Amino acid sequence: MLHYTQGICPETGRRLVARGVIAIGRKACGVLAIGQAAIGIIAIGQLAVGLLFGLGQATSGVIAVGQAALGVAFGLGQCATGYVVIAQFGYGEYVLSQFGWGKNVWDMRGASPIAQKFFQSLLP
């Protein structure tokens, strides 16, 4: 269920990989994976590849939050993609960014009325 690793395998001299429902280690693979390089349904790490959610410096997932976030439904970060994107540099269907590209963009260069209406509807 829970697998935690650290260090190098003495037999092989290679970095150990944590594998489990909850995997924690420099390299981690599991349902919830936490590590420098993490792959899982929910992945948190410097390089995080998540099926549903990714959080990290370079990340991907249906929902991705990170410096470089490749999201499908939602991307939040410095450089991000997704259907809905909030980023410094963004690409998607609905984009709120400093510099954005896509169908409905609200950025420094101008604002699509559809994008304005969409993002304002998210506020209370």
Domain boundaries of the chain, sorted by first residue: 2-121
With beta carbons less than 8 A apart as the criterion, state whether 111 and 100 touch. Answer: no
In three-state secondary structure terms, 5 is: coil
CA separation, residue 65 to residues 9, 27, 36, 57, 97 (Å): 32, 19, 15, 8, 14
* Threshold 0.85, pTM exceeds: yes
For residue 50, give both structure tokens: 């998540």
- Residue 107 forms beta bridges with which residues? 110
Q: What angle do CA 98, 94, 88 make, to 5 degrees?
A: 20
Q: What is the pLDDT of residues 50-75, one digit of tens each?
A: 999 999 999 999 999 999 999 999 99
CA–CA separation, 90 vs 104, rounded Å? Answer: 11
Q: What's the whole-number mean pLDDT along residues 83-93?
A: 97
